[in-house]
Amino acid sequence: MKFAIVYFNKAAEKIAKKIAKKMEGEIYFSPSKETMQKLFKQGTAIIGICASGILIRFLATFLNDKQNEPPVIAVSNDGAHVVPLLGGHHGANDLAQEIADLFAGQAAITTASNAQFSCALDEPPMGYVMADVALAKKAMVAVLNGEGILLDGKADWFKNAGYEVLENASELVDRKGVVKIAISEKTSDKNTLTYHPKTLIIGVGCERYLPANELIELVEKVIKENKFAPHSIAAIASIDVKADEKAVNELAAYYGVPLRLFSAAKLANENTPNPSEIVRQEVGTPSVAEACAIKAGELIVEKQKSKRATCAIGRAVKPIDVEKFGMARGQLHIVGIGPGEEEQRTISVIKALKNSSDWVGYGFYLDLVANLKLEQIEHRFPLGDEEKRVRHALELAASGKNVSLICSGDGQIYAMAALVFELLDARGKRALSENAKRVEVVSHSGISALQMASSRVGAILGHDFCAISLSDLLTPKEAIISRLEAAAMGDFVTAFYNPRSKTRTDLLDKAKEIFLKFRSPNTPIIIARSLGRKDEKVRIITLGEFDTSEVDMMCIVLFGSSNSKSFKRGDGKQVVFTPRGYDKKVSQ
């Protein structure tokens, strides 16, 4: 869900920003009526730090569909009072309580069901899914009018929430009516309010590189034959060697449930009706599909087969907590946090950091994102331990965790992304564990230093450019010099990473020498230090006057091409740009 945080006076600005940060929402100051209505129609949750009357007047003409309206919440200027106005059963009540907790305030929950019962019929607890939300409204009205619930199935949460649950039909004597509710893994009667408990585990096995459609068709066939409701599927389960199997992952995505994994050792001990010696020789356990399914508690559908896949179904006596069931496929997020400025982080990066259980990185980089830290476990490494850092992140993810490997700038540019894939491909002494090789890897792009340096001074990267690292720790000096000559001869704008350290000073001098053979001494160059940090400093000078001794490892240096130009604007700011040639296009 997207969030819009709106306010109409400066006194509410501080509260608005705090809520926006918590919800990752977009702030609107004094939005028009049309903007508010557009947000509402788009299904955006609206949190107004304002009088409730403002929100009501702006949205009144659109209040005609209770089932589809997004949350609308009014918050007092001090955050002490939070009132969910609309969408109470679509998350507004919970959202209001979350905002109230943020400011140690009070949420005024006014919906009748929440006032009388600890949860409404259309907001079942975790582990239960309604077959038809529309039936809940009529049932809730009947219950509020004093009718009892006749329950077909078992679910303690009704009594725990304060509902009157009738034990048998004899209790219906002298009552006006009764609400019939079913708890079942089976497909539901369209006229009965049915809750599907997430108690089913679909155990699967398949050949390597199986097309996903074969596995999906097999599972669908078995589910339909047994009249199971897909909503009751808690997870897809398989052996851990299938963690990266496309068909298995796509099956889990098809049903919108997590994939859970078990080692061969944990599956081999299960007593299953259809063991296979061939399977045991192949993966170390005589059963995969049935052994995974029986982990739920009871095997209710024995192994079913297609040409290259198997599935079985297990059932638990109560909804399954999938966080404690088996092991998740680990995820490694390669996170590029940009040069350091909070405003320069992408939404994708922020979400990855917040959703990760563990952060791995050079200590300085971890400090740069400390404001996003909640309960994540930090794994700090000194500068120079790159392979240890990446290996640790991959092995940590192999244990089923969601891990962020934090890089400055962009992870793809002189950072850890290439090393991640190098280790995934490594053999021999550098080889990772088998589980580490199967983790999911997701890259989140960040703003690179060369991009930000260019943006700070204008657009020096406006035409063809390249980047060269001047560190000869991993690249031979001869190769670096060859690249310098090629870049200078090719007339590229050139960005220099790792330009100069305390012990490595000669290559930046060599770069200046080579480029002066092909560039005018008046060619603009950029020296950018500590971009996006408190001590940021950006200078524009010429190639001829460039003093390499003022550069260190906290800098990035950009040499312009022969076409790069510099000029001073009316406000006195010096800018640099590299034209792409549009003047020639206009003159034709």
CATH number at residue 387: 3.40.1010.10
The answer, as to whether pTM is greater than 0.85, is: no
409: DSSP letter: B
The verdict on 351 and 422 lying in the same domain is yes
pLDDT of 530 over the 70 cut: yes
pLDDT in tens, 101-110: 999 888 877 6
Residue 313 belongs to a domain: yes
pLDDT in tens, 12-32: 999 999 999 888 888 999 999
The verdict on 337 and 431 lying in the same domain is yes
Mean pLDDT value of segment 116-136: 79
Residue 343 belongs to a domain: yes
pLDDT in tens, 174-189: 555 678 888 999 998 7
The verdict on 443 and 454 lying in the same domain is no
pLDDT in tens, 536-549: 999 999 999 999 99
The verdict on 418 and 459 lying in the same domain is no
Name the phi and psi angles at 323, rounded to 5: -65, -20
Give the pLDDT of residue 67. 63
The verdict on 212 and 323 lying in the same domain is yes
Q: Which domain holds residue 90?
A: 3-110
Task: Report how far residue 255's alpha carbon sits from residue 432's, in angstroms, rounded to the nearest whole number.
Answer: 31
The verdict on 290 and 230 lying in the same domain is yes
pLDDT in tens, 196-252: 999 999 999 999 999 999 999 999 999 999 999 999 999 999 999 999 999 999 999
Q: Map residue 483 onto helix, strand or coil.
A: helix
pLDDT in tens, 311-321: 999 999 999 99
H helix count then E strand count, the chain: 21, 30
Domain boundary at 327, 351, 378, which? 327
- What is the band of 532 on the pLDDT scale with cuts at 50, 70, 90? confident
The verdict on 538 and 558 lying in the same domain is yes
Task: Report how far residue 153's alpha carbon sits from residue 141's, in angstroms, rounded to the nearest whole number.
Answer: 22
% pLDDT > 90, the chain: 67
The verdict on 229 and 316 lying in the same domain is yes
Residue 179 belongs to a domain: yes
Residue 588 belongs to a domain: no
The verdict on 19 and 80 lying in the same domain is yes
The verdict on 505 and 474 lying in the same domain is yes
Mean pLDDT value of segment 98-103: 90
- Residue with the larger pLDDT of the pair 514 and 68: 514
Name the phi and psi angles at 402, rounded to 5: -105, 110
CATH, residue 86: 3.40.50.11220
Average pLDDT of every residue of the chain: 91
Task: Report how far residue 120's alpha carbon sits from residue 169's, in angstroms, rounded to the nearest whole number.
Answer: 24
Domain count, the chain: 5
The verdict on 360 and 454 lying in the same domain is no
pLDDT of 112 over the 60 cut: no
Residue 337 belongs to a domain: yes
Residue 586 belongs to a domain: no
The verdict on 135 and 158 lying in the same domain is yes
Candidates 438, 412, 227; CA nearest to 338 is 412
Residue 469 belongs to a domain: yes
Task: Report how far residue 289's alpha carbon sits from residue 284's, in angstroms, rounded to the nearest whole number.
Answer: 14
Give the pLDDT of residue 118. 59
pLDDT in tens, 350-385: 999 999 999 999 999 999 999 888 889 999 999 888
